[in-house]
């Protein structure tokens, strides 16, 4: 079974959204994990934004990357520059690393609708990235 780790700073938005899409687009022989350099809790707006399109991440947990150091990953995906720079060495396996920086939608200020639109925009950017990642790496 192939294992994927999605990593960002707080494991609250971007990595959780990517985790949801990767689970959605992959077969049962793929196991997806997500973690952060810190653990901020899953952002309710990330849950809501994915629920709008039928993907449920409401049972996901926010985890620290150190919890997964003993797992042999096939792929490690960093979704923010901070995570890429802070990503620890995983002693097991030879994971293929992939990186794409996405803006943190939780940092958007403004009224409720402005913030909601930012989450949707980042969701669609992550969606495109995940579709492409799965197509290039997991459908052979």
Radius of gyration of the chain (CA): 14
Q: What is the pLDDT of residue 19?
A: 98
Q: Is the pLDDT of residue 123 over 70?
A: yes
- Report the catalytic residues: 8, 80, 87
Q: Is the pLDDT of residue 75 over 90?
A: yes
Position 49 confidence tier, pLDDT thresholds 50, 70, 90: very high
Q: Which pair of structure tokens corresponds to residue 123?
A: 């969701």
Nearest-angstrom CA–CA distance, 110 and 32: 33
Nearest-angstrom CA–CA distance, 46 and 93: 31
**Domain parsing of the chain, residue ranges:** 2-131
pLDDT tens-digit series, residues 28-39: 889 999 999 999
Q: Are 79 and 14 in contact (CB under 8 A)?
A: yes
Q: What is the pLDDT of residue 29?
A: 83
Fold category of 2-131 in CATH: Rossmann fold (3.40.50)
Three-state DSSP class for residue 78: strand
Over residues 101-105, the mean pLDDT reads 96
Average pLDDT value for the chain: 93
Three-state DSSP class for residue 113: helix
pLDDT tens-digit series, residues 84-99: 887 777 766 789 999 9
Nearest-angstrom CA–CA distance, 79 and 97: 11
Number of other residues whose CB lies within 10 A of the CB of residue 52: 11
- pTM for the complete prediction? 0.94
């Amino acid at each position: 079974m192939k294992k994927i780790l999605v990593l960002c700073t707080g494991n609250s938005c971007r990595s959780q959204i990517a985790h949801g899409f990767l689970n959605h687009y992959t077969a049962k022989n793929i196991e997806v994990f997500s973690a952060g350099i810190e653990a901020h809790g899953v952002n309710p707006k990330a849950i809501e934004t994915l629920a709008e399109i039928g993907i449920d991440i409401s049972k996901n947990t926010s985890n620290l990357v150190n919890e997964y150091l003993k797992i042999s990953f096939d792929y490690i995906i960093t979704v923010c520059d901070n995570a890429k720079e802070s990503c620890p060495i995983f002693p097991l396996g030879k994971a293929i690393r992939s990186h794409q920086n996405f803006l943190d939608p939780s940092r958007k200020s403004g009224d409720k609708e402005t913030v909601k639109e930012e989450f949707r925009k980042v969701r669609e950017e992550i969606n495109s990235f995940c579709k492409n990642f799965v197509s290039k790496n997991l459908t052979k």
